[in-house]
Amino acid sequence: MPEGDTLFRTAARLRPALEGHALTRFEAPRLRGRAPAIDERITGVQARGKHLLIHFEGGLTLRTHLRMTGSWHLYRAGERWRKPAYLARAVIGADSGWVAVCFQAPVVETFARNGAPPDALAALGPDLCLPASLADAVLDEIVARVATCAPAGTTLGEALLDQRIAAGIGNVYKSEACFAVGIDPATPIEAVPPATRRAVWEVAARQLQDNLGRAERRTHPQGLAVYGRRGQPCRRCGTPIRMARHGDLGRSTYWCPTCQVLRPLSTAERS
Ligand SMILES: [Zn+2]
């Protein structure tokens, strides 16, 4: 599923095909906002957290968010697409001879860069794919954002997915970072000490950054430690990995019940 590292790689792939080139084709059947003009120059392709931004010379920026379903493909003009055209949500042709096609993204909108950015961008926390996110001051900021964005009762797993705290983590790095730090993602945030909060976001940033150049995600010499490994033996202790789904989106969380400590609230605190 698309997480911050996926979007970072997507931007890197689209950039040479689009950046600096003139727009020759723009189709976006469900676009919110104005369309850029044909022939205007594409001035940048940028990943911000899990958003992909394409900047146009005339002052508009296209924002797509892939959520669980979307993907960007790159084709030569005239080349057959690997998905049906009716699933295309944005088609961007450039005079480089490339066509970038975004399939099934639920969010496709443009905004004027000289105005207020969309709320979803304005609220984003530090981008964990950038090396700067590992600076002490940025990690302090992330811990401070946890305090404002995650009320008591929020689980650590939910807080890790909150892009206002820090941008880039999805279900994979949520599960992997909690394993690396040895804490159960179901732990209520108020039971997670500040040093552990800092450690888990720092680990997630390192894991995301380590994987920017890789096609296969890896957080362990053998691949991923827990994500996607339900029922398989923990790579550290051999206990079968567990999986649970929660929330409206059925987000999956994987963890080792032996290596990862749950710090539950007492019954009195819970009520
Ligand atoms: Zn284990």
Reading the chain (271 residues) residue by residue, the pLDDT tens digits are 688 999 999 999 999 999 999 999 999 999 999 999 999 999 999 999 889 999 999 999 999 999 888 999 999 999 999 999 999 999 999 999 999 999 999 999 999 999 999 999 999 999 999 999 999 999 999 999 999 999 999 999 999 999 999 999 999 999 999 999 999 999 999 999 999 999 999 999 999 999 998 889 999 999 999 999 999 999 999 999 999 987 666 789 999 999 998 875 544 444 3
pLDDT reported for residue 234: 98
Other C-beta atoms closer than 10 Å to the C-beta of 244 total 13
Residues 6+ apart with CB under 8 A from 74: 13, 14, 17, 98, 99, 100, 101
| Inter-CA distances, 162 with 95, 111, 125, 190, 267, Å | 38, 23, 9, 16, 27
φ, ψ at 146 (rounded to 5°): -60, -45
> How far, in Å, is the centroid of ligand 1 from the Cα of 98?
47
Four-point Cα dihedral 119, 63, 8, 40, nearest 10: -140
Ligand 1 ion: nearby residues, β-carbon < 5 Å? 234, 236-237, 239, 256, 258-259
| Inter-CA distances, 205 with 12, 133, 163, 165, 192, Å | 19, 7, 13, 13, 18
What is the C-alpha to C-alpha distance for residues 100 and 75, in angstroms, rounded to an integer? 6
> How far, in Å, is the centroid of ligand 1 from the Cα of 254?
11
pLDDT reported for residue 105: 94
pLDDT reported for residue 268: 44
Handedness of CA 61, 62, 66, 67 (dihedral sign): positive
Cα-only R_g, the chain? 20
> How far, in Å, is the centroid of ligand 1 from the Cα of 218?
17
For the full predicted model, state whether its pTM sits above 0.75.
yes
Q: Which two tokens stand for residue 132?
A: 């700067």
Handedness of CA 204, 205, 209, 210 (dihedral sign): negative
> How far, in Å, is the centroid of ligand 1 from the Cα of 197?
20
Residues 6+ apart with CB under 8 A from 205: 128, 129, 133, 134, 166, 168
Annotated catalytic residues are 2-3, 50
Q: Which two tokens stand for residue 171?
A: 């279900």
> How far, in Å, is the centroid of ligand 1 from the Cα of 179?
8
CA proximity to 57, closest of 72, 39, 74: 39
> How far, in Å, is the centroid of ligand 1 from the Cα of 255?
8
> How far, in Å, is the centroid of ligand 1 from the Cα of 253?
15
Looking from the CA of 252 toward its CB, the CA atoms found within 13 Å total: 13
> How far, in Å, is the centroid of ligand 1 from the Cα of 238?
6
CA proximity to 186, closest of 158, 155, 226, 153: 155
pLDDT reported for residue 248: 62
Q: What angle in degrees, to the nearest 10, is found between the helix axes of 194-210 and 136-149?
A: 120
> How far, in Å, is the centroid of ligand 1 from the Cα of 50?
30
State the DSSP H helix or E strand holding residue 26, giving kind and residue range, or none if neither: strand 23-27
